[in-house]
Amino acid sequence: MTDLLATQMRKGALRRVLGDAGLSRGRTVLAVLTGSAALGSAVGLAAVAAWMIARAAGMPSPADLAIAAVVVRFFGIGRGLFRYLERLTSHDVALRGAVSLRVRVYERLAHAPAAHVLPLTRGQVMARIGADVDAIADAVVRGLIPMAVAVVVSGVSVGIAAFMVPLAGVVLAACVLIAGVGAAALTLRSARAAAALAVTADARVTESALSALEAAAEHRVWGTTASAEAELAEADAASARAHEAIARPAALAAAVQTLAAGLALIGSIAVAVTAAADGAIGPTTAAVIALLPLAAFEAVGAVPAAMQQLFRSARAAERIEELAPPSDADAPDHATSDSDPRASAVLEAREVSAAWPRMTPTVPVSLRVAPGEVLAVVGRSGIGKTTLLATLGGALAPAAGEALIDGAAVTEDDLGTVVAITAEDAHLFGTTVLENLRVARGSVTEDEALDALGVVGLRDWAVALPDGLDTVLGSGGGTVSGGERRRLLLARALLAPHPVHLIDEPGEHLDRAGREALRAALARLSGEGRSVVIVTHDLTLLDAADRTVSLDAVNSDA
Amino acid sequence: MRPVDPRLIARIGPARRYVITTAVLGLLTAIVIGVQALVIARLVAPVLAPSPLTEDGLGWIGTIVPTSARALETGVVWLAALVVVRVLLVGIQERLAHRAGVAVIADLRGRVVAHAARLGPRWAASGEGSTVTTTVTRGLDGLLPYFVRYLPQLMLAATVTPIMLLVVLDLDWISAAIIAGTLPLVPLFMILIGLVTRQHSAKHLEAMQRLSSRVLDLISGLPTLRALGRHRGPAGRVRELGNAQRRATMGSLRIAFLSGMVLELLTTLAVALVAVTLGFRLVYGEVSIETALAVLVLAPEVYLPVRNVGMHFHASADGLAAADAAFDVLDTPVARVGGTGPAPSLAGATLSMRGLAVATPDGRRHAPESLTFDAPPGSITALVGPNGDGKSTALLALMGLLRPDAGEVSAMLADGTSVPLDDVDADGWAREFAWVPQRPDLGVPGRTMSLGQRERAALARAFESGRPVIVLDEPTAHLDIEARTEVVAHIRAAAARGVAVVVATHEVELIAAADAVVEVASATAVTP
């Protein structure tokens, strides 16, 4: 049932996502028109040139050719000119769509339940909103518009032929259909095979290559280098066999297109020569009909590539919908940016067990953190410490028990207003040190920032930076070390006004000096009367906490 | 940039065979296209001629297609045969292209992976080394469109274009002169436009990439903003930055598309000029109708491959960049570790490291610096010190997996002889060790396990291996308290068996169990 629903959801994902992109109808039509004019110029050039040669063969006065000569030259220029305009217009449409789509996806995510947003990894968000949105833009430029142009230009070519000799129109229409629809169907088969391949054979190649590369030293020590290389060769061979499923329909599609164009040429010449011999048409008409197919198939030739692009884009659209499911109505805004007026709050858990959907719930814990207290939650990795934190913060409803703030059940609205969570992989933005600290609170002054950095032992580091607090950090914190990153996140937490702080694995990547900084930060937070919960598997940090709750074997909150 | 990397042809067998086959197929295609044009001219000319055709209008080249093809029945048979041949050529070309592309990628991938493995962990940590995984996974796949789309068109441009030009020359030298005159203009103008716009587009491209990365950065921080309740503001900023990026992109596209326009303009206009010239010369009887038709059909075919090469230029750029990156790896010389003598058994041997120094990838520090210690059999040696000061590097050097910048690793064997690592085969030396790195890999099956599972499996493998030296890099980092105690017990048991254990760790419990604790420190590199 859910599978059926999922299939239904996926169907038309591209259409819905393109709808979200809000493509401008006028600009899209303009792009199709200019694109058709470009390829139409090639068809026009072939037709008028044929007419002109045929007319000239009758040795008329040169003046009779004057207009045709001008038209031929116009088509000669038109192709390049219109193509340039088409490319600009179509890219403009697509880029505008991509901007709207990004904003739409961002807004949906911002309004989505915190339980959906918090576990998202940077890589996921980046891939969906970066490459996948670009793929939607490509659906316009390389998929929809070339398809539309193929239909328009083929239609016009068929129209010209049919207007002159209906039978020639029928021949051309049949062949264009074979070339277009046949190639599209075969390409789709090829693309499906390629997609299946990507998750099986190609994934195996990637795994083998990565293992052979990244564990090269290990393979040398254990004497498994040769077998790792053999595994890669075997994976590549399996992938090559699987690639046949892609190559066969693709080659067939190319062959079908060539065949259809050839048949159209033979058919049109036969019709033209026969009709001319019967005296039904004059030599100029015969020439146009005979030579038209030579130019008319170019537009249809773009169909396989366009089809492939649409297929790729459809998959991207599915992934985008998975990340940010379309909501029926714009959900009401949950949390407000204004922080809660409360200066302090009591966090309490009564027999709370936490779980993400389809996860085994954690053992039930009870705890109470009053303002000025630091509580440590310990337990081995994978036991659910982070999940418990999300539940205490209101991002996730408890699987059992009650989580309370000041005696009232904690809700999603509390996250960001009363509760601040500092995740283990919290994001450092590609902006200045100061702006990164202002993520906690927009009004942070330079002095406050330096003070917070001082607590975590980064004051000297920040002052020594080329532009001090105005130094721009690389995106994702790539230009700071693991330890500096953790300390910056701690400084950010210090500046956040929230009365309750939940901090995940603050000791990770910290050496001795870093741990001292962490102790100082926790002391500052508790000194200011905040209620703090830290989660860690590092037992040396426990003396920094007033009390400890273990998820391995539950201690009662003494 | 060269259109074909000579190293591909010279060193990769499937690539060489493919290029040769494609050239032959291109030649056959050229012949088919030429003959088809002649047949069309034969077939259509009688319809257009005011009086019955008596002489052969196709000159010397016309002997290929006899005048009997002027009859509809004969001509259509000719055409049908040509269409069949062309369909076969296209189909074969596509199949071969795909197979060759897959084969070349597999071949290159295997070589690069094997060579990169020999280049060792130091190279892997360097700038080039860190990109090699991208090259062997996604990067090399860029060669497929290069082989399937670009190379065939390049071969057609090299065969069809000159041959068609020769045919036109034989038919009508004036048309040939028009074509020959315009053809060189295509690359000339594209180079000129490229030169004029290069600086401009580089600037645009940079602005575009900067804006794009800022949008992505903003969006990927959403979970963090949500956790602090600051997620509402940036939507407007996303739109603003997105629009700025769009404007920058359009600015660069307006210029980037110019060369495409010139390409199309020149090629189509030249065809138009040929047609118009032919028309007027027909009026004066300077050229026969059969010739005019053949040239009219051939003229676009001369330009088509050239235009397609221009269209698939990007496929070529990606593919060649990937091949280039691959050959760069292959051409990096392997830094030799060890010597030629047979590696001794290290059972009962005391390993010793004297004054070891290894420069960091950026070369600014030595981590470790002047590291000296002995690891006797039956004892636990703990390497301690801050992150990044070279504990893991020291372990790699001990096992002969990387070449230090200074210092020496040697072994005092059970029989009392001292053997420097520099004198013996490093592969054999490495195989005396049982090693558990920080993130053990365990090969392909291990990649589906969690880090904790892998660590436990790798530790089990090390303790059960029976090798005389066990080297552990932070073995307890991802384990819970019980498992940790168990690991310490295993380490003690191994030492009791006479194994030399060397362990890098922060763990208090492990340090307490060690017989010797060695402080590892780094230092700023002194430039010589």
- The nearest alpha carbon in chain B to A510 belongs to B387
CB count within 10 Å of CB A163 equals: 11
Chain B contact present for A243, CB below 8 A: yes
Residues 377-396 of B with CB under 8 A from A: 386-388, 396
| Residues B160 and B12 grouped into a single domain | yes
Query: Cα B308 vs. chain centroid, distance in angstroms?
Result: 23
Residue B423 lies in a domain: yes
CA distance A278 to A283: 11
- In angstroms, the separation between the Cα of residue B297 and the nearest Cα of chain A is 8
Number of helical (H) and strand (E) elements in chain B, helices listed first: 18, 11
Q: What is the pLDDT at residue A139?
A: 92
For residue A11, what pLDDT band results from cuts at 50, 70 and 90? low
| Amino acid present at A413 | D
B167 plus B190 within the same structural domain: no
Q: Which residues pair with A405 in a beta bridge?
A: A347, A408
A103 with B234: Cβ contact below 8 A? no
**Are both B37 and B96 inside the same structural domain?**
yes
**What band does A78 get if pLDDT is binned at 50, 70 and 90?**
very high
CA torsion through residues B483, B485, B491, B497, sign: negative
The residue to which tokens 């200066």 are assigned: A343
Which residues from chain A sit within 8 angstroms of residue B114, using beta carbons? Answer: 212, 229
Pairing of the two strands A547-550 and A347-353: unpaired
Cα(A92)–Cα(A98) distance, integer angstroms: 10
> What residues have CB less than 8 Å from B196, skipping those under 6 apart?
none
* Residue A197 near residue A216, CB atoms below 8 Å: no
Rg (C-alpha) for chain A, rounded Å, is 33
Mean pLDDT is lowest, of A118-132, A269-283, B156-170, for: A118-132
Residues B399 and B454 in one domain: yes
In terms of domains, do B362 and B438 share one?
Answer: yes
Rounded CA-CA distance A299/A32 in Å is 12
| Domain presence at residue B369 | yes
Half-sphere exposure for A523 (CA within 13 Å, toward CB): 11
CA atoms of A194 and B204, how far apart (whole Å):
35
Q: Which A residues 536-555 touch B at CB under 8 Å?
A: 537, 539-540, 552
Q: Is residue B305 part of a domain?
A: no
Are the CB atoms for B283 and A60 separated by under 8 Å?
A: yes
A356 and A362 Cβ atoms separated by less than 8 Å? no
Please enumerate in sequence order all residues whose Cβ is within 8 A of that of A379, keeping only pairs 6 or more positions apart, or say none: A385, A537, A550, A551, A552, B480
Contacts of A187 in chain B (CB under 8 A): none
CA distance B408 to B420: 7
Residue numbers in A near B99 (CB within 8 A): 240, 243, 247
Contact between chains at A283 and B292 (C-beta distance less than 8 A): no
The DSSP call for residue B229 is: T
**Helix (H), strand (E), coil (C) string for A253-286:** HHHHHHHHHHHHHHHHHHHHHHHHHCCCCCHHHH
Q: How far is CA A474 from CA A170, A431, B214, in A?
A: 62, 7, 10
- Whether B315 and B442 map to the same domain: the answer is no
Q: Quick check: B117 and A220 CB within 8 A?
A: yes
Residue B345 resides in a domain: no
Dihedral of alpha carbons A99, A101, A102, A108, sign: positive
Among residues A480, A393, A543, the alpha carbon closest in space to that of B227 is found at A393
**Cα end-to-end distance, chain A, whole Å:** 48
Number of domains present in the structure of chain B: 3
Question: In tens digits, what is the pLDDT along chain B, a chain of 528 residues?
Answer: 567 888 888 888 888 999 999 999 999 999 999 999 999 999 999 988 877 777 777 878 888 888 888 899 999 999 999 999 999 999 999 999 989 999 999 999 999 999 998 888 888 877 677 778 878 877 888 888 888 888 888 888 888 899 999 999 999 999 999 999 988 888 888 788 777 777 776 777 777 777 777 787 888 788 888 888 888 778 888 888 888 888 888 888 888 888 888 888 988 999 999 999 999 999 988 999 999 999 999 999 999 888 888 777 776 777 888 888 899 899 999 888 888 899 999 999 999 999 999 988 777 788 899 999 999 999 999 999 877 788 989 999 999 998 899 999 999 998 989 999 999 999 999 999 999 988 787 776 666 676 677 888 899 999 999 999 999 998 887 677 778 888 999 999 999 999 999 999 888 888 999 999 999 988 887 654
d(CA A427, CA B223): 8
Q: Is residue B37 part of a domain?
A: yes
> Are the beta carbons of A264 and A290 closer than 8 angstroms?
no
Q: Does B240 touch chain A (CB under 8 A)?
A: no
Q: Give the largest CA-CA distance in chain B.
A: 111
> HSE-up of A364 (CA within 13 Å, CB side)?
10
pLDDT of residue B435: 94
Contacts of B55 (CB under 8 A, 6+ apart): B288
d(CA A177, CA A154) in angstroms, rounded, equals 9
| Nearest partner of B102 among A202, A435, A89, judged by Cα | A202
Radius of gyration for the alpha carbons in chain B, expressed in angstroms and rounded: 35
Give the three-state DSSP class for B401.
Answer: coil
CB atoms within 10 A of CB B99: 18
Share of chain A above pLDDT 90, in %: 42
Both B8 and B156 in a single domain? yes
A29 Cβ contact partners less than 8 Å away, ≥ 6 residues apart: none
Binary contact (B48, A287; C-beta < 8 A)? yes
DSSP A417-452: TTEEEE-TTPPPPSSBHHHHHHTT-TT--HHHHHHH
Same domain, B167 and B183: no
CA A133 vs CA A32, A188, A483, B244: distances in Å: 22, 21, 34, 17
**pTM across the whole model:** 0.80
Same domain, yes or no, for B251 and B322?
no
SS3 of residue B26 by DSSP: helix
* Amino acid at the residue B131: T
Q: How far apart are CA A242 and CA A204, in angstroms?
A: 12
Of B286, B303, B320, the residue at which a domain comes to its end is B286
* Residue A430 at interface with chain B, using a CB cutoff of 8 Å: yes
Whether residue B262 is found in the same domain as residue B188 = yes
Do B102 and B146 contact (CB within 8 A), yes or no? no
* Domain, as residue range, for B55: 1-172+311-334
Q: Does a structural domain hold residue B303?
A: no
Quick check: is B40 in a domain? yes
Residue B392 CA to residue B473 CA, distance in Å, equals: 7
Asked whether the beta carbons of B482 and B475 are under 8 A apart, the reply is no
Q: Where does residue B229 fall: left (phi above 0), alpha (psi -120 to 50 degrees), or beta otherwise?
A: left
- Cβ atoms of B266 and B178 within 8 Å: the answer is no
CA A268, A274, A275, A279 dihedral sign is: positive
Residues 78-97, chain B: which have Cβ within 8 Å of A? 79-80, 82-83, 86-88, 90-91, 93-95
For chain B, the distance separating the N- and C-terminal CA atoms, rounded to the nearest angstrom, is 38
- Token reading at B163: 């041959």
Mutation to test the A interface, candidates B115, B224, B431, most A Cβ within 10 Å: B224
CB B294, CB B41: distance < 8 Å:
yes
pLDDT tens-digit readout, A194-226: 888 777 788 888 888 888 888 888 999 998 899
- Residue B480 main-chain phi, psi, to 5 deg: -85, 180
Q: Do A475 and B430 touch (CB under 8 A)?
A: no
Helix segments in A324-445, DSSP class H:
385-392, 433-438
Contacts 24+ apart (CB under 8 A), B443-446: B443/A211, B443/A215, B443/A219, B443/A224, B443/A227, B443/A228, B443/A231, B444/A204, B444/A207, B444/A208, B444/A211, B444/A231, B446/A211
The long-range contacts involving B361-368, CB below 8 angstroms and separated by at least 24 positions, are B361/B122, B361/B125, B361/B126, B361/B127, B363/B525, B364/B524, B364/B525, B365/B522, B365/B523, B365/B524, B365/B525, B366/B390, B366/B405, B366/B522, B366/B523, B366/B524, B366/B525, B367/B393, B367/B522, B368/B393, B368/B394, B368/B520, B368/B521, B368/B522
**Side chain identity, residue A462:** A
Name the residue among A125, A233, A258 with its Cβ closest to that of B220.
Answer: A125
Contact flag A240-B214 (C-beta cutoff 8 Å) = no
Return the CATH number at B382.
3.40.50.300
* B442 and B484 part of one domain: yes
Tell me how far apart the alpha carbons of residues A219 and A214 are, in angstroms, rounded to a whole number. 9
ipTM of model over 0.95: no
Q: Which two tokens stand for residue B27?
A: 């030649």
Whether the pLDDT of residue A556 is over 50: the answer is: no
Inter-chain residue contact A207 with B478, CB threshold 8 Å: no
∠B356-B359-B364 over CA atoms, to 5°? Answer: 135
CA gap B327, B323 in Å, rounded: 6
Q: Which candidate, A34, A37, A79, A42, places its Cα nearest to that of A294?
A: A42
Nearest alpha-carbon partner for B166 in B55, B298, B71: B298
Domains of chain A: 24-323 (1.20.1560.10), 347-550 (3.40.50.300)
Strands A531-536 and B350-357, sheet pairing: unpaired
Give the pLDDT score at A412. 85
Q: What is the mean pLDDT of chain B?
A: 87
Q: Is residue B344 part of a domain?
A: no
Q: Are residues B134 and B185 in the same domain?
A: no
Chain B residues within an 8 Å CB radius of A337: 229-230, 232-233
